[in-house]
Amino acid sequence: MDSKLTVAILVVSTTAAQDPTTDLSTKVLSDVLADDGNDQWKVTDTKIVTDDAVDIQRQVITWTDSLGAPNLIVTTGGTGFAVADHTPEAISLILHKQAPGLVHAMLSTSLAVTPFAMMSRPAAGIRRNTVIITLPGSPKGAKENLQAVIKTLPHACLQASGANSRKLHAGGVQKLEKDAGIASSGCSHGHSHNHGHNHGSGHGHAPLVRHTKPNTNPLSNDPLLGPSRRYRESPYPMVSVDDALQMIADFSPEPHVVRVKVDENIVGSVLADDVKARENVPAFRASIVDGYAVVVPKDGNLKGVFPVTAVSHAAPGQTPALKEGEIARITTGAPLPPGATSVIMVEDTILKSLTDDGKEEKEVEINAEGVKENENVREVGSDIQAESIILKRGEQISGVGGEIGLLAAVGVAETDVFRKPVIGVLSTGDEIIPYDRPGDLRLGEVRDTNRITLISAAKEWGFEVVDLGIAQDKSNTLEETLRNGLRRVDVLITTGGVSMGELDLLKPTIERSLGGTIHFGRVAMKPGKPTTFATIPVKDNAGTRVSKTVFSLPGNPASALVTFHLFVLPSLHKQSGVSPVGLPKVSVSLAHQFNMDSRPEYHRAVVSANKDGVLVANSTGGQRSSKVGSLRAANALVCMPGGKGVLEKGAKVDALVMNAVRTHAV
Ligand code: AMP
Ligand code: MG
């Protein structure tokens, strides 16, 4: 097994990008990793990019956000004061965590060599599971900086990769230092690593050094700067739909377990534990038919006229014991009298005589041969054994599948399920007015289409929804509305305000005011390009730190509904324990020619089964993202690949099914 840590090296140099032979840094850095790296490192990729910030970000994200991401990325170049230098800025913007300690270590080592180290501006931190450091462009500076941190990097990389930190820390900081082959200068700051060792020895924790204010590195526009200073192109890297879904899977919180009563409200919930039957079904020996309980003689022949000595109805209570030669009238589902072995169907009997008052049967004739023990009897536990597992963890309780009935039958009145997240829906935009406001529209007003649409969709999928109204395009209004929303719900869905206009405040508010992390802010798809997914750390009512998910969907109604189904639903599913997540995918045949778009398109369509049982897809017509009508009657999203030209009638493509498939073409 190759257990080495993996490194990718990114050379940021416009010169080297034009002529790779001028690049000396890759070799120098590889040598440091080999010579000083304790045989722990393996260089898995090297790339050269120009000083372009977007190119730098794109390459780093390509590495960090893919499967098999390297443990470490080192960049070299672009860290100085020259006009073209912006590697640290490009990197900082895409870091999920800052690592000022690494920056400090690199700077102090270089400063000991030359005061010009003041002019290096390194950045360091973590994106997803990868540690990233930016080194200067000069091979000598790059080498010194890397040497300054290389001994501690294996531990940093292991932690960032998600390795068990308790195990990593066993033995305290001394062991870590020993393993890394480094010595501290005698006063280790053993914060979380070394409880109880250095405390009280006279050298308390030095105050944290910060060179920047927290949150100085969000990717979003600073709204205070006004329209002329906003970015003119989205700084958010464009991610693929698959990568977006992976991030949603990674960053949506795990479901919580709650104990609930078994009643109609449990429909749609997923069991958090296996459920065992508390009781046998049936709980007593019961008759399967209406007839007569009998005691079968050894030879199985039951012939003659028998006195009816008792009656057993399907009702609680004890019937007197039965002896051979006696019979008891019994109804379906009633308990067999003690001693009875079998039940003869009423159809196989003849009434012989009545009691004196004429109200009851006195004698009945039976003519049966070969009657077996237990004939027409359901034994105790023959349907379900007490203590057997009747439903498994992960199974979803449907409203139609009989799961509730099963729980009820075996006496389970309470059970553990995954709590379904509560969803808040907010529309944003100064132009948006309540859809039911009477009177004509004034110029520029738009009726709020999205809120009622998304509320209905979320309810249709079985979630509790809080209506958060409409927020104006003003930073403080938006911030307050979002804060209020975050207190009340687990998942926030907003629409509008995520495009590139100067009033598009969602991203800045999430990042700058609420301290959230935007995992993606642009997706390569149509409709829905500006779809934004973020998580915001908050304290819940019990004071525990939790992460709440925010989906800021585009304002255009078709985009909002498509992206709800494509991105929000999988997150809601994960948070409520539903698996697999998202809409079911089927293969359909196109009923007519479909035009392709350069971006992958989620084409609103009606899918129906033709007379041969083949699923065919008809477009709902014009697909412009503002077209509310494109979703009318749509029950599926046809997944059109990005490209030029058309897909012909009959072409097979995937479709995501939103609603029941019809049985004939519309
Ligand atoms: P935005 O994402 O804010 O740039 O909005 C894009 C487009 O969607 C604009 O034409 C908005 O007027 C429209 N829009 C935004 N929110 C809604 C809504 N709740 N209902 C209907 N249209 C909306
Ligand atoms: Mg808007």
Q: What is the pLDDT of residues 231-280, one digit of tens each?
A: 767 778 899 999 999 999 999 999 999 999 999 999 999 999 999 999 99
* Residue 131 located in a structural domain: yes
- Residue 138 CA neighbour count, 13 Å, CB half: 10
The verdict on 429 and 521 lying in the same domain is yes
The verdict on 44 and 174 lying in the same domain is yes
Strands 432-433 and 389-391, by their bridges, are unpaired
Directed axis angle between helix 25-36 and helix 139-149, to 10°? 30
**Which residue from 130, 192, 134 is spatially nearest to 161, judged by alpha carbons?**
130
**Which residue from 473, 427, 420 is spatially nearest to 452, judged by alpha carbons?**
427
The verdict on 50 and 166 lying in the same domain is yes
Choice from 432, 467, 564 to test ligand 1 binding pocket (greatest atom count within 8 A of CB): 432
Q: What is the mean pLDDT of residues 479-494?
A: 96
Question: Is a pLDDT exceeding 70 seen at residue 213?
Answer: no
Q: What is the pLDDT of residues 453-464, one digit of tens each?
A: 999 999 999 999
- Cα 404 from Cα 231, distance rounded (Å): 54
Q: Which residue has the higher pLDDT, 189 or 219?
A: 219
The verdict on 517 and 620 lying in the same domain is no
How many other β-carbons are positioned within 10 Å of the β-carbon of residue 372? 11
Predicted TM-score (pTM) of the model is: 0.68
Q: What is the mean pLDDT of residues 37-49?
A: 92
Residue nearest to atom 1 of ligand 1 (CA): 496
Residue 272 amino acid letter = A
Q: What is the mean pLDDT of residues 189-211?
A: 41
Residue 585: the pLDDT is 96
The verdict on 505 and 639 lying in the same domain is no
Share of the chain above pLDDT 70, in %: 91
The verdict on 302 and 334 lying in the same domain is yes
Residue 193: the pLDDT is 36
Residue 166: the pLDDT is 63
Question: Is a pLDDT exceeding 50 seen at residue 200?
Answer: no
Residue 235: the pLDDT is 78
Q: Which atom of ligand 1 is nearest to the CA of 451?
A: 19
Residue 2: the pLDDT is 60
- Number of folded domains that form the chain: 5
The verdict on 496 and 567 lying in the same domain is yes
* Residue 235 located in a structural domain: no
How many other β-carbons are positioned within 10 Å of the β-carbon of residue 374? 14
- Cα 360 from Cα 311, distance rounded (Å): 10
Question: Is a pLDDT exceeding 60 seen at residue 174?
Answer: yes
Q: Which atom of ligand 1 is nearest to the CA of 554?
A: 2
Q: What is the pLDDT of residues 387-400, one digit of tens each?
A: 999 999 999 999 89
pLDDT band for position 196 (50/70/90)? Answer: very low
Domain of residue 43, CATH code:
3.40.980.10
Q: Cβ(364)–Cβ(295) under 8 Å?
A: no
- 77 C-beta closer than 6 A to ligand 1: no
- Cα 549 from Cα 489, distance rounded (Å): 10
Question: Is a pLDDT exceeding 90 seen at residue 662?
Answer: no
The verdict on 428 and 413 lying in the same domain is no
Residue nearest to atom 14 of ligand 1 (CA): 555
Distance 238 CA to ligand 1 centre (A): 21
Residue 137's SS3 state is coil
Q: What is the pLDDT of residues 543-601, one digit of tens each?
A: 899 999 999 999 999 999 999 999 999 999 999 999 999 999 999 999 999 999 999 99
* Residue 553 located in a structural domain: yes
Q: Which residues pair with 312 in a beta bridge?
A: 330
The mean of the pLDDT values for the chain is 89
* Residue 186 located in a structural domain: no
Question: Is a pLDDT exceeding 50 seen at residue 203?
Answer: no
CA–CA distances in Å: residue 445 to residues 210, 402, 431, 448, 478: 47, 48, 5, 9, 19
Choice from 556, 562, 564, 627 to test ligand 1 binding pocket (greatest atom count within 8 A of CB): 556
Question: Is a pLDDT exceeding 70 seen at residue 1?
Answer: no
Residue 177: the pLDDT is 63
pLDDT band for position 165 (50/70/90)? Answer: low
- 472 C-beta closer than 6 A to ligand 1: no
Distance 396 CA to ligand 2 centre (A): 38
Q: What is the pLDDT of residues 599-623, one digit of tens each?
A: 999 999 999 999 999 999 999 988 8
Q: In the structure encoding, which two tokens stand for residue 273, read together? A: 């534990």
- Cα 566 from Cα 637, distance rounded (Å): 9
Distance 503 CA to ligand 2 centre (A): 7
Residue 400's SS3 state is coil
The verdict on 456 and 510 lying in the same domain is yes
Residue 180: the pLDDT is 61
Domain of residue 410, CATH code:
3.90.105.10
| Residues whose CB is less than 8 angstroms from the CB of residue 170 and which lie 6 or more positions away in sequence, other chains included | none
The verdict on 81 and 113 lying in the same domain is yes
Residue 167: the pLDDT is 60
pLDDT band for position 475 (50/70/90)? Answer: confident
pLDDT band for position 528 (50/70/90)? Answer: very high
**Which residue from 107, 54, 53, 110 is spatially nearest to 83, judged by alpha carbons?**
53
Last residue of a domain, one of 530, 559, 576: 576
| Residues whose CB is less than 8 angstroms from the CB of residue 658 and which lie 6 or more positions away in sequence, other chains included | 565, 583, 634, 635, 636, 637
Q: What is the pLDDT of residues 107-154, one digit of tens each?
A: 888 888 888 888 889 999 999 999 999 999 988 889 989 999 998 899
- 560 C-beta closer than 6 A to ligand 1: no
Question: Is a pLDDT exceeding 80 seen at residue 72?
Answer: yes
pLDDT band for position 189 (50/70/90)? Answer: very low
Question: Is a pLDDT exceeding 90 seen at residue 298?
Answer: yes
* Residue 438 located in a structural domain: yes
The verdict on 617 and 548 lying in the same domain is no
Q: What is the mean pLDDT of residues 40-46?
A: 93
Last residue of a domain, one of 119, 148, 180: 180
- From the number of C-beta atoms within 10 Å of its C-beta (0-12, 13-18, 19+), residue 256 rates as middle
DSSP state string for 234-280: --SPPB-HHHHHHHHHHHSPPPPEEEEESSGGGTT-BBSS-EE-SS-
- Cα 304 from Cα 327, distance rounded (Å): 11
Question: Is a pLDDT exceeding 90 seen at residue 655?
Answer: yes
Residue 233: the pLDDT is 72
- Cα 549 from Cα 308, distance rounded (Å): 70
Q: What is the mean pLDDT of residues 381-386?
A: 96
Domain of residue 346, CATH code:
2.170.190.11
- Cα 352 from Cα 362, distance rounded (Å): 8
Distance 167 CA to ligand 2 centre (A): 49
Q: Cβ(421)–Cβ(463) under 8 Å?
A: yes
Domain of residue 634 covers 585-663
Residue 214: the pLDDT is 43
> The sheet that has 41-49: what strands, in order across it?
41-49, 5-12, 72-76, 130-135, 124-127, 97-98
Distance 497 CA to ligand 2 centre (A): 4
- 449 C-beta closer than 6 A to ligand 1: yes
Residue 157 amino acid letter = C
The verdict on 598 and 656 lying in the same domain is yes
